[in-house]
């Protein structure tokens, strides 16, 4: 009889796991992360490259980023349902990039509030159509305008949400990685979900302001956090040490490009000369470095 019961259980579990789920790691009590691979979004990974996950409170769950396509969003939802019976009450988007927002539709139902930086809605409006077109061309993912889901609750500077016995504080940052970066701090476990303000292993990608990003990092570097969860790369427990490679890369771009501008050199020179020393340390360097230099140069030539 025992054996039969055991078999029955096995069957049930197999049945459940037939639903698509994501591998997640509990990095702090009640905080689960699915770690994305360091890859370019393509037709094989369908844009599923970012770290996404959720935080479970006594009364409900906050989702932090929903993935690179609707299917990944549904898989994240299934994963949550296997781990807890508590309902999702908030979906927090850390910024506009498609690998973080394109699973939003999986959570669109009454009782779920979408939250983002006060500039997130505008960024989605300006880029949505472009992301939809590119998803079809480059990710083999069919999207329509309904997949771009803007926040119901904009965060101006700070916002604290109560998940039941668990308060999380959201911070809307000035322009850094993008102009709509939001971070999530869990008070109970001293965990900061910093998302794409921190890249580990994957070359940092500038899509906002090099100067603004460095300024935010220098400010946050002085804080203590037990666990920090980047947007790309492993969760770390040695903040601010784990920040140093990114800071060094960005700082090098800043000082080298400033020097070139002062010497009267041009953007064409900068993309071939600046920042190649630490090339070997980064994944996807070839794919993003020259674009970073271009973006940074165009920003820095307007200084003074």
Partner 1 sequence: MKKQIVNAWFLVLLITPLLASAAKDERDWNKILKKQYFSGQSIHQSNDVIEIEAPYRAEDPALVPVQIISHIAQTKAQYIKKITVFVDKNPFPFVGEFEFTPESGKASLAMRVRVNSYSYIRAIAEMNDGQLYMTKKFVKASGGCSAPIGADLDAAMKRLGKMKFRLDKGVKKDDATLAQLLISHPNITGMQMDQVTRFVKKSHFVDHLKVTFDGKPVLTAKIDIAISADPNFRFYFVPNKKGVLKAEFSDTSCESPTSRKVCTKGKSYSSSYTVNPSI
Tokens of 6: 């055991």
Q: Using the rule CB under 8 A, which residue among 7, 11, 126, 277 binds partner 1?
A: 126
Least CB distance from residue 85 to partner 1, whole Å? 35
Q: What is the residue whose two structure tokens read 């409900």?
A: 60
Contact between 97 and partner 1 by CB under 8 A: the answer reads: yes
Q: Using the rule CB under 8 A, which residue among 43, 157, 219, 259 binds partner 1?
A: 43
C-alpha span between 93 and 86 (Å, rounded): 20
Residues 163 and 58: beta-carbon distance below 8 Å: yes
Contact between 207 and partner 1 by CB under 8 A: the answer reads: yes
C-alpha span between 292 and 298 (Å, rounded): 10
Residues 107 and 77: beta-carbon distance below 8 Å: yes
Question: Per-residue contact track with partner 1, 238 to 277, x per CB under 8 A?
Answer: --------------------------x-xxx--x------
Least CB distance from residue 293 to partner 1, whole Å? 8
Output 224 or 303, the one with its CB closest to partner 1: 303
Interaction with partner 1 in 210-239: which residues (CB under 8 A)? 212
* Beta pairing class for 113-117 and 88-92: parallel
Least CB distance from residue 299 to partner 1, whole Å? 8
Least CB distance from residue 236 to partner 1, whole Å? 23
Interaction with partner 1 in 146-205: which residues (CB under 8 A)? 148, 150, 175, 178-179, 205
Output 86 or 211, the one with its CB closest to partner 1: 211
Q: What is the residue whose two structure tokens read 């094989």?
A: 44
Residue-by-residue DSSP string for 154-220: EESSEEEEE-SS-EEEEEEPSSSSSSS-EEEEETTTTEEEEEEEEESSBPP--SS-HHHHHHHHHHH
């Amino acid at each position: 009889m025992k054996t039969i019961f055991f078999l029955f259980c096995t069957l049930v579990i197999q049945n459940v796991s037939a639903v698509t789920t994501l591998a997640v790691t509990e990095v702090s009590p009640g905080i689960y992360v699915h770690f994305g691979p360091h890859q370019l979004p393509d037709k094989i990974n369908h844009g599923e490259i970012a770290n996404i996950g959720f935080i479970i409170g006594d009364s409900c769950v906050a989702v932090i980023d929903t993935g690179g396509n609707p299917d990944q969003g549904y898989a994240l939802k299934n994963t949550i349902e296997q781990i807890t019976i508590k309902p999702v009450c908030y979906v927090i988007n850390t910024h506009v990039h498609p690998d973080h927002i394109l699973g939003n539709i999986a959570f669109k139902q009454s009782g779920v509030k979408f939250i983002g930086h006060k500039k997130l809605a505008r960024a989605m409006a300006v880029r949505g159509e472009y992301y939809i077109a590119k998803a079809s061309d480059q990710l083999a993912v069919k999207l329509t305008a309904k997949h771009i889901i803007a926040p119901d609750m904009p965060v101006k500077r700070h916002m604290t949400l109560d998940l039941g016995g668990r308060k999380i504080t959201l911070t809307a940052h000035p322009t850094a990685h993008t102009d709509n970066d939001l971070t999530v701090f869990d008070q109970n476990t001293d965990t900061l979900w910093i998302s794409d303000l921190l890249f580990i292993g994957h070359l940092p990608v500038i899509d906002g302001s090099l100067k603004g990003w460095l300024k935010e990092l220098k400010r946050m570097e002085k804080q203590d956090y037990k666990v920090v969860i980047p947007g790309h790369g492993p969760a770390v427990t040695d903040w601010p040490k784990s920040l140093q490679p990114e800071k060094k890369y960005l700082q090098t771009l800043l000082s080298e490009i400033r020097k070139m501008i002062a010497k009267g050199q041009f953007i064409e020179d900068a993309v071939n000369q600046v920042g190649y020393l630490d090339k070997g340390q980064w994944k996807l360097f070839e794919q993003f470095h020259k674009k970073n230099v271009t973006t940074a140069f165009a920003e820095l030539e307007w200084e003074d």
